[in-house]
Structure 1
Amino acid sequence: MDIRIGIQNSPREINFETSQPVADIETAVAALLAGETGYLKLGDDKGNTYIVPSATFAYIEIGTEESRRIGFVG
């Protein structure tokens, strides 16, 4: 699924694809917003890790878990 994370005072977003379950991502974001952690840590399909401090976190957009179709739709 596609993930987009907005950063305060930055015109660019962090955009990547991950195979992490939606429930895990929502739990991590809820912990961040509740003040339980000082950062949001997520990984992508390529093995990269993204850490966003809570002070700069603006928003997160979580895409659907559908796989992309290949070929023509008829």
Structure 2
Amino acid sequence: MEVKIAVRSVLRELVVEVDLTAEEVEQELRNSLAADRGVFTLTDVKGRRVVVPVTSLGFVEIGEDESRVVGFGGTL
């Protein structure tokens, strides 16, 4: 699943590919926002960790859980 994170005063968004469900990402975000001086932390599919202080978050866009169809647009 793709998660986009906007950081205040940064022009580009962070795009993180994670193995979590939308509900798990949202719960991580809720936990981070509830903590004093919280940080929002996600680990991507390659094991890299992204850490953003919640005071710097602009928005977090959580992609849809979807199965992707691979092909050339013919009938199935």
The TM-score normalised by the length of structure 2 is: 0.84
| Structure 1 or 2: more helix by fraction | 2
Q: Which residue of 2 aligns with 1:68?
A: 68
> 5 Å matches for 1:49-68?
49-68=49-68
The TM-score normalised by the length of structure 1 is: 0.86
Query: How far, CA to CA, are the matches of 1:53 and 1:21 in structure 2?
Result: 22
Structure 1 moving runs of 4+ over 6 Å? none
Which residues of structure 2 form unaligned runs of 5+? none
Deviations 1:6-46 (A, max 9, x none): 00011011102111122211111112233456100111111
Kindly, what percent of the aligned residue pairs are identical?
Answer: 32
Which residues of structure 1 form unaligned runs of 5+? none
CA RMSD after TM alignment: 1.5
Q: Which residue of 2 aligns with 1:41?
A: 41
Q: Tell me if structure 2 keeps the 8 A contact 1:31–1:37.
A: no
Which has the greater radius of gyration?
A: 2
Greater Cα shift, 56-65 or 24-33: 24-33
